[in-house]
Amino acid sequence: MLKKWTEYLNWAKDLYGDILEGNKTAQRAIVYGYAQETLKLAMITKNASAMNGAVANMIKILGLDQPESEAPDWTNVQPPTVVLGLPEETQKGLLKLVNAGVVDLTGAEMRVKDAEFIDITPADQG
């Protein structure tokens, strides 16, 4: 068992630097290794409360219990430029509407064509 802890210490030291310097990331890796071993032992002994405690510790060590704080800074994000290609007739119609000011379209006659369709509602609902 001592050999495994030494392996964890060496792994953390190689990955994160000298742990005696107080490197928090290295200490977190070591403590996470302890939590993993605790979970393994709890699974062997079939101790559900110890398993739950080990998983809870792993969650805290990884910071999964904290809200996400790495949201992007939306002030630096520029919206994309969208170029629309409209027929000239449509462009003229839109410009006419925009330049006219407020336009009440509620009484406008709509030119809607009937379209063919297939009714897909089940027989028991329709």
pLDDT tens column, 62-73: 888 888 777 777
On whether the CB atoms of residues 85 and 91 are closer than 8 A, the answer is no
Q: Tell me the residue range of the domain where 28 lies.
A: 2-62
pLDDT digits (tens, 9 = 90+) for 83-100: 878 899 988 988 888 888
For residue 102, give the DSSP letter: S
**Domain count of the fold of the chain:** 1
Task: Indicate whether 57 belongs to any domain.
Answer: yes
Residue 56 token pair: 């809870």
**Sites in the chain below the pLDDT cut of 50:** none
Residue carrying the six token digits 């709890």: 42
Query: What are 24's two structure tokens?
Result: 């928090």
28 part of a folded domain: yes
The pLDDT of residue 126 is 53
86 and 98 Cβ atoms separated by less than 8 Å: no
Distances (CA, A) of 93 to 90, 98, 102: 5, 9, 15
